Amino acid sequence: MSGIQEQRDLIYATAGERPLKLDLYQPADPNGAGVILVHGGGWSRGSKAMVAPAARLLADQGFVVMATEYRLTGEAPFPANIHDVKRAIRWARTNAAQLGFDAARLCLEGHSAGAHLVLLAAGTPDDRRLAPPEGLGDVSQAVAAVCAIYPPTLFHIGEARPSGSLPARVLPGADASEASAALASPIEHVTAAFPPTMLLHGDADKVVPVSASRRFEERLRAVGARCDLHIYAGLPHGFANHPEIRPSMMGMVGGFFRRWAIGLEDFTAMPAAVAG
């Protein structure tokens, strides 16, 4: 992991008097793109330290990485957490030149609850219903690409459970009404303008059903948006933390971000096959 400069607990915003912090990973040879990395933990626990290994693997590929904290539900219910992610996007884009990347090449990656938040942020850049109390400001909230690892994508109220859905009560604040559950559901914000998306999920996931990612891919493709879906056979929730899986997985994630945020033409101009 040589050549990466790490800075801890930079304040990217405040919520009232509460400072919101991130950890910054700056590569020695930046590739021009940035990534905001959002941890999981069921919205009620976890920290930015959980994604430090993934952050370093991305920084090794040249990405400027910002691993962010957000207010957990014990401190503030939904939509406080998405407010904080949007604040992090605004901070990253505002400071992009100083940090060493192009603001138009900002990407998002999230794990589990963090995957839900990055999908929700990616699909609602201009939605004032999910804007922080101070508003969206004059800085774009749009991102170039998003990667979601075993993401919750749909919430429901009541006993009837649609395919891929979780009960809204798991995300306090989203369970206030059917409208609140829909607002918190990334799948309800899918349009043709949704940024290129990568979904990774294990088909043995007992926390978030793999159908959550399958239905999300179907919705994206139905409107003409771009999506890569990777299903890992036999793997449970949390597989991204496995030391034998994480390096290859993050290499694939980095390739996806390079493809859509840096140079699609480098991938579409495929070399000719070489005779054996």
What mean pLDDT comes out for the span 117-125?
A: 98
Strand ranges, E, within 127-226: 145-149, 155-156, 166-167, 197-202
Dihedral in degrees, nearest 10, Cα atoms 64, 256, 70, 49: -70
Quick check: 32 pLDDT over 60? yes
Summarize pLDDT for 154-204 with one digit per residue, the tens: 999 988 889 999 999 999 999 999 999 999 999 999 999 999 999 999 999
Partners of 155 in the beta sheet? 166
**Single-letter amino acid code for the residue at 26:** Q
Question: How confident is residue 265, by pLDDT bands cut at 50, 70 and 90?
Answer: low
Say if domain 4-268 classifies as CATH 1.25.10.10: no
Give catalytic residues, as residue numbers.
112, 205, 237
The domains of the chain are located at 4-268
The identity of residue 185, as a single letter, is S
pLDDT the model gives residue 160 = 83
Percent share of the chain, pLDDT over 70: 95
pLDDT, tens digit, 9 for 90 and up, residues 69-103: 999 999 999 999 999 999 999 999 999 999 999 99
Half-sphere exposure of 217 (CA within 13 A, CB side): 18
Q: For 3-27, what is the mean pLDDT?
A: 97
Confidence at residue 136, expressed as pLDDT on a 0 to 100 scale: 86
Partnered with residue 107 across adjacent β-strands are: 35, 145
pLDDT category at 1 given cuts 50, 70, 90 is very low
Nearest-angstrom CA–CA distance, 186 and 215? 11
Dist. CA 55–CA 49, nearest whole Å: 10
Least confident of 6-10, 41-45, 175-179, 263-267: 263-267
> Average model confidence (pLDDT) for the chain?
95
C-alpha to C-alpha distance for 175 and 241, rounded to whole angstroms: 30
For residue 176, count CB atoms less than 10 angstroms from its CB and return exposed for 0-12, middle for 13-18, buried for 19 or more: middle
Cα 242 to Cα 235: distance, rounded to the nearest angstrom: 10
- For the stretch 238-242, contacts whose Cβ atoms lie closer than 8 Å and that sit 24 or more positions apart, written own/partner, are 238/112, 238/150, 238/207, 239/150, 239/202, 240/54, 240/111, 240/149, 240/150, 240/200, 241/53
191, 123 contact by CB (below 8 A): yes
Peptide bond between residue 30 and the one before it cis (omega within 30 degrees of 0) = no
When pLDDT is averaged across residues 48-54 and rounded to a whole number, the result is 98
